[in-house]
Amino acid sequence: MEFEFVDWVRSRAPRSDKLLLGIGDDAAVLEVASQRCVVTSDMLMDGVDFVLDDTDPRRVGRKALAVNLSDLAAMAARPVAAIVSFAAPSDAPLDMLRNLYAGIFQLTEEYKISLAGGDTNTWQHPLAISVTAFGEPSQRGFVTRNGASPGDVILVTGSFGGSLLGRHLDFQPRVAEALALQERYRLNAMIDVSDGLSLDLFRVAEASGCGALVDLNMVPIADDARRLSKQRDDGQTPLDHALGDGEDFELIIAVSPEVACQLLVDQPLGIAIARIGEFIGERGLWQAMPDGTRQPLTVCGYEHQ
Amino acid sequence: MEFEFVDWVRSRAPRSDKLLLGIGDDAAVLEVASQRCVVTSDMLMDGVDFVLDDTDPRRVGRKALAVNLSDLAAMAARPVAAIVSFAAPSDAPLDMLRNLYAGIFQLTEEYKISLAGGDTNTWQHPLAISVTAFGEPSQRGFVTRNGASPGDVILVTGSFGGSLLGRHLDFQPRVAEALALQERYRLNAMIDVSDGLSLDLFRVAEASGCGALVDLNMVPIADDARRLSKQRDDGQTPLDHALGDGEDFELIIAVSPEVACQLLVDQPLGIAIARIGEFIGERGLWQAMPDGTRQPLTVCGYEHQ
């Protein structure tokens, strides 16, 4: 299989002028601005992150790259290239693999990034696909998850919950949004929501050595969260789904109250930015009560098994 | 599993001063010299590249990184960092995973490189491990596989064949050797032998638009090739093993006759460098006959399935 398929991939692999040496040698060579390279990697597996029997392979390939672009977005890094490796079942039709890559190429074209290389394998087990993405920090540097301070406002892009109904495959990584925000505003901390709003918010708070106080009334709930709640009828409210489902791939951002003011008035993105609470001195995750007190909020989300 | 294990990995992950931001954020940030980053990735699977039931996981982890360092060596790039992602069977003992990483850490320490991140997963299928390695070109730039010209001499490091007897797990990637050669000599093309001496030599010739003429008497045959030939008793000679076995992870180097002269006299490495033939104008792989003529040489080696 390999020769024919690798030739096919190579002939279609998008290249930008930042790819000095592409597929076909022992390694690729990338050019990055400012001697800094932002790197991230995720592996997706059939039966865990997608179900290949029920899913167009294009959506699987697209997701495998998109989750990595979402990680670059969370750093406010500009994507440059990706490397794609997979182990596919030996009886996988070539068409399936081509469609897998067609999904990857959708995003490489959209973001003008190169496919710099990878490793193609077959075995007697289900598909596992591993993507490593490379980016370069914007001129204003990269944004980490540990820069929030008590008093900072918690902002989020978009809405949350119910991604399982399809958005976990077709989401738009917030690359353009993160770069646009980083260019105009001082962002203190940022993370993308892969494992659940409450868990990922808790991670920002913990990394920053502070706590997070959430006004639950302000959490933007996705229509899918309502649909899933109704569909399952298991007592989980739409808000529960919004807080715990994960794979929303929206951004949580910590900014000073002054920057938050400006940002909420500007609404500079095509998607809504909402204030859902603030970082506080006391560690942990909290919910704001109507009487002005606070109570612990359970951290829920997807823990990788 | 993930929290405990990731904490364990993070607490032990080696960091160099080139790792500006390591494990624990959405992505890592590396510093590279000269704005150029050399990247390569390989995925190894249980039952294909190793048999976990019969193999110390330390050797598996070490190999998963070593094959990537060998690719960087083939570019004459200095390793900077690695990212390690895996999908392990959900009943895999934590000790197995720790030993897997202990093997990785052997090499990160030896080469003073950082573990910059990765992705840890479990599923109901065998272990697949994907490593991406990052390097920076030496001051004299990187070496590709397409720079050989007719008249160039074919040099190889070390000896070939029979790696299956153990060397495919415990080989030393020729990183230091490649850097030492690149510093002192003009190297026209280079590749590491992963899929077989004859196949990888053919690849250099094809990429360079020329052919390769091999003096079979000069091919350095590993003791393991002799052992394997005897053990199997299937008609495959030690030379057959040397030409076709693969996973030797030695270097094939193209240099001008003048550089070859100097290099063969100097023997600047701790391992032998041998001349096994020359590149010629006529495409294809050839063997030199005693009467001065040449005959086609079958390209054999490991084609990824």
> How do residues A280-302 score in pLDDT, each as one tens digit?
999 999 999 999 999 999 998 77
Per-residue pLDDT, averaged over A153-171, amounts to 96
Q: Does B92 touch chain A (CB under 8 A)?
A: no
Would the CB atoms of A39 and B83 count as touching at under 8 Å? yes
pLDDT score for A34: 81
Cα(A90)–Cα(A127) distance, rounded to whole angstroms?
Answer: 10
How confident is residue A305, by pLDDT bands cut at 50, 70 and 90? very low
Q: What is residue B268's three-state secondary structure?
A: coil
Would the CB atoms of A21 and B142 count as touching at under 8 Å? yes
Whether A212 and A298 have beta carbons less than 8 Å apart is answered as no
Return the residue of A nearest to B145 by Cα: A25
The torsion angles phi and psi of A121, rounded to 5 degrees, stand at -140, 155
Alpha carbon of A56: minimum distance to chain B alpha carbons (Å): 21
Tally the C-alpha atoms within 13 A of residue A130's C-alpha that lie toward its C-beta.
30
Would the CB atoms of B87 and A128 count as touching at under 8 Å? yes
Per-residue pLDDT, averaged over A223-251, amounts to 96
List, in sequence order, the alpha helices (H) in B111-222: 167-170, 175-184, 197-208
Instruction: Determine the residue type at A55.
Output: T
Cβ-Cβ contacts under 8 Å for B56 (sequence gap 6 or more)? B99, B103
A191 interaction partners in chain B (CB closer than 8 Å): 26
Whether B71 and B42 have beta carbons less than 8 Å apart is answered as yes
Alpha carbon of B81: minimum distance to chain A alpha carbons (Å): 10
Per-residue pLDDT, averaged over A273-283, amounts to 98
Window 220-279 of B, Cβ < 8 Å to A: none
pLDDT score for B192: 98
Residue of A26, A113, A175 to mutate, interface with B, max B Cβ within 10 Å: A26
Q: Which of B224, B77, B104, B236 is nearest to B158 (CA)?
A: B224
Per-residue pLDDT, averaged over A159-185, amounts to 96
Q: Does A31 touch chain B (CB under 8 A)?
A: yes
Would the CB atoms of A90 and B305 count as touching at under 8 Å? yes
End-to-end CA distance of chain B: 32
Per-residue pLDDT, averaged over A89-108, amounts to 96
B203 interaction partners in chain A (CB closer than 8 Å): none
Strands B189-192 and B251-255: antiparallel
B142 interaction partners in chain A (CB closer than 8 Å): 21, 29
Cα(B150)–Cα(B189) distance, rounded to whole angstroms?
Answer: 12
Ramachandran category for residue B158: left, alpha or beta (phi over 0 → left; psi -120 to 50 → alpha): left
Cβ-Cβ contacts under 8 Å for B212 (sequence gap 6 or more)? B154, B201, B202, B204, B205, B277, B278, B279, B280, B284, B285, B286
Cα(A140)–Cα(A142) distance, rounded to whole angstroms?
Answer: 7
Question: Which of B39, B71, B128 minimises the CB distance to A134?
Answer: B39
Cα(B194)–Cα(B197) distance, rounded to whole angstroms?
Answer: 8
B97 interaction partners in chain A (CB closer than 8 Å): none
Asked if the model's pLDDT at residue A2 lies above 50, the reply is yes
Would the CB atoms of A305 and B119 count as touching at under 8 Å? no
Question: Which of B124, B128, B304 minimises the CB distance to A120?
Answer: B304
A148 interaction partners in chain B (CB closer than 8 Å): none
Would the CB atoms of A29 and B75 count as touching at under 8 Å? yes
Return the residue of A nearest to B137 by Cα: A29
pLDDT score for B33: 80
- A–B interface: beta-carbon pairs under 8 A: 211
Question: Which of A26, A74, A118 minimises the CB distance to B71?
Answer: A26
Would the CB atoms of B145 and A26 count as touching at under 8 Å? yes
Alpha carbon of A173: minimum distance to chain B alpha carbons (Å): 13
Q: Does B142 touch chain A (CB under 8 A)?
A: yes
A13-16 long-range Cβ contacts below 8 angstroms, 24+ apart: A13/A114, A13/A115, A14/A105, A14/A108, A14/A109, A14/A112, A14/A113, A14/A114, A14/A115, A15/A114, A15/A115, A16/A80, A16/A81, A16/A112, A16/A113, A16/A114
B121 interaction partners in chain A (CB closer than 8 Å): 43, 45, 48, 304-305
Ramachandran category for residue A194: left, alpha or beta (phi over 0 → left; psi -120 to 50 → alpha): alpha
A125 interaction partners in chain B (CB closer than 8 Å): 45, 125-126, 128
Cα(A236)–Cα(B287) distance, rounded to whole angstroms?
Answer: 72
Question: Which of B117, B120, B192 minimises the CB distance to A39?
Answer: B117
Return the residue of A nearest to B79 by Cα: A27
Q: Does A4 touch chain B (CB under 8 A)?
A: no
Q: What is the ipTM of this complex?
A: 0.92
Would the CB atoms of B85 and A41 count as touching at under 8 Å? yes
Would the CB atoms of A30 and B47 count as touching at under 8 Å? no
Whether A254 and A154 have beta carbons less than 8 Å apart is answered as yes
Alpha carbon of A119: minimum distance to chain B alpha carbons (Å): 5
A90 interaction partners in chain B (CB closer than 8 Å): 305
Asked if the model's pLDDT at residue A15 lies above 60, the reply is yes
Per-residue pLDDT of chain B (305 residues; tens, 9 = 90+): 567 888 899 889 888 889 999 888 899 999 888 889 999 999 999 999 999 999 999 999 999 999 999 999 999 999 999 999 999 999 999 999 999 999 999 999 999 999 999 999 999 999 999 999 999 998 899 999 999 999 999 999 999 999 999 999 999 999 999 999 999 999 999 999 999 999 999 999 999 999 999 999 999 999 999 999 999 989 999 999 999 999 999 999 999 999 999 999 999 999 999 999 999 999 999 999 999 999 999 998 776 54
Q: What is the mean pLDDT of chain A?
A: 94
Asked if the model's pLDDT at residue A58 lies above 50, the reply is yes
Asked if the model's pLDDT at residue A84 lies above 50, the reply is yes
Most confident listed range (A25-29, A32-36, B237-241): B237-241
Asked if the model's pLDDT at residue A127 lies above 90, the reply is yes
Q: Does A122 touch chain B (CB under 8 A)?
A: yes
Whether A132 and A41 have beta carbons less than 8 Å apart is answered as yes
| A27-36, A118-127, A129-138, B90-99: least confidently modelled range | A27-36
Window 171-210 of B, Cβ < 8 Å to A: 191-192, 207
A24 interaction partners in chain B (CB closer than 8 Å): 207
